[in-house]
Structure 1
């Protein structure tokens, strides 16, 4: 029997430089976006264009749809963007230069965007609104904690994905940044000015998504006791709690709790 054996290479080969991915609800607006990219050098020689057609009904929400893009895109860089953006001031060459700039500063980057929350106080925005008003951040690039969803560039080799247990069309930018951070990567706001026709819509669905996001990460980032086949330990974002709970007597008492109150049979999947 012949075996299909192949040697893994250090650097993957990408057939495209960019994959430009969009959830589409209005074809005419998408065509305007598409034309603006093509006009700025994002053509068939270096790009592929992927879209999900949500015009008739919602086949994919943002989380499931963007995960499809991240899995199926063949570009070295994956651009995930809204259909209501127009590329005008900057072109493909400018974007490549900004990518190279970040690469020289920090090889552990995974996400670039044009707006986001740098920290709990400062927001960085670098785009043009539909009115023509240009919001220009003076200090770029900037390390950021969150990103706005209108324009997101992901390094394909970072192998990012969005949460499986979140849904809807909001908070997926912050979700992607948190996943990136947990995997050991950094996110940046860069100078790539585009027009975004929408100023955002904090409707009822936004607050539902925000609540679900907070609930998910309160659980995901909780402190916990862990056991491997050869050791036991406690992890926590609070250094003092982690220090105390890693004392051997504490770990012994916790083991007794699991022995008497959390039997192994509780972890058998229910049919």
Structure 2
């Protein structure tokens, strides 16, 4: 098979971390009513009903690796497709394809910037939340419902763990890889309003520490060039001119002379 002729056995893979099989079955029933069937979709789950065999980061990596589908849906067991169906999701995906060939992940709730958000959901807080316009390009997504493009080859960080902020982690990594994240107009019901407890704060600290290190200023040398990388584009241009390296080298030589 040629590399540009990769095909998948299914259109969708619906992947869920399960702690309550009765609730999961209710979710599956709603997907069936919405047009997702074994003919067009894989149904993959990680069973945490007796104990936590996998945390969310481990489960997501396994979901992505095992899914043989063009689109990977990672969702909570407590969602119900009570409103929009498979045909609507296909339409929303087609809209993204038309406006942004580099989209990598989408969902139904997320923040555009530090102040503004987009959301399309019904949950215990409010019915029929509709904050657009859609699709809205965002920097983060909520974990209750996510759709990934398989060929975007997204994942989560191997040095993070727990059950929180894995969608934010994926959005950051997607951006680094050149892909964009969106909130789409896909209305479903989420039977949870969210839960912020001690483990959430631990996950938040871990994510902050990880990216403080990962995105810090770096001096990198490859076999054919050397680079100083900062978050400032103007400084990157200045620091990576040959003149700068020449001056820097002279300073190093003089410094070493005085040390000796």
Name the CA shift for 1:195/1:254 in 2 (closer, same or farther; >3 Å): farther
Counterpart secondary structure, 2:189: strand
Q: Which residue of 2 aligns with 1:264?
A: none
Counterpart secondary structure, 1:10: helix
Match of 1:66 among 60, 68, 90: 60
Residue pair 2:117, 2:131 contacting (<8 A) in 1 also: no
Counterpart secondary structure, 2:27: helix
Structure 2 length normalisation: TM-score?
Answer: 0.92
Task: Please give the residue correspondences for 1:71-150 in structure 2 after superposition, counting only pairs within 5 Å.
Answer: 71-130=65-124, 133-150=127-144
Name the CA shift for 1:251/1:44 in 2 (closer, same or farther; >3 Å): farther
Q: Deviations over 1:4-44 (max 9, x none)?
A: xxx42313111100000000000110000000000110011
Residue pair 1:98, 1:190 contacting (<8 A) in 2 also: yes
Task: Please give the residue correspondences for 1:228-267 in structure 2 after superposition, counting only pairs within 5 Å.
Answer: 228-246=222-240, 247-249=244-246, 251-252=248-249
Determine if the alignment matches structure 1 residue 212 to structure 2 residue 212: no
Q: Which residue of 2 aligns with 1:193?
A: 187
Shift in Å, 1:89: 0.8
Determine if the alignment matches structure 1 residue 157 to structure 2 residue 159: no
Determine if the alignment matches structure 1 residue 226 to structure 2 residue 220: yes
1:254 and 1:218 mapped to 2: Cα distance? 29
Name the CA shift for 1:131/1:28 in 2 (closer, same or farther; >3 Å): farther
1:229 and 1:132 mapped to 2: Cα distance? 57
Residue pair 1:110, 1:154 contacting (<8 A) in 2 also: yes
2:251 and 2:146 mapped to 1: Cα distance? 44
Residue pair 1:245, 1:251 contacting (<8 A) in 2 also: no
Name the CA shift for 1:236/1:250 in 2 (closer, same or farther; >3 Å): farther
2:61 and 2:180 mapped to 1: Cα distance? 19
1:70 and 1:108 mapped to 2: Cα distance? 18
Residue pair 2:16, 2:74 contacting (<8 A) in 1 also: yes
Structure 1 length normalisation: TM-score?
Answer: 0.89
- Number of residue-to-residue matches in the alignment: 253
Shift in Å, 1:251: 4.4
1:212 and 1:199 mapped to 2: Cα distance? 23
Name the CA shift for 1:248/1:74 in 2 (closer, same or farther; >3 Å): same
Name the CA shift for 1:183/1:253 in 2 (closer, same or farther; >3 Å): farther
Residue pair 1:114, 1:148 contacting (<8 A) in 2 also: yes
Name the CA shift for 1:249/1:59 in 2 (closer, same or farther; >3 Å): same
Match of 2:40 among 46, 55, 58: 46
2:151 and 2:95 mapped to 1: Cα distance? 18
Q: Which residue of 2 aligns with 1:266?
A: none
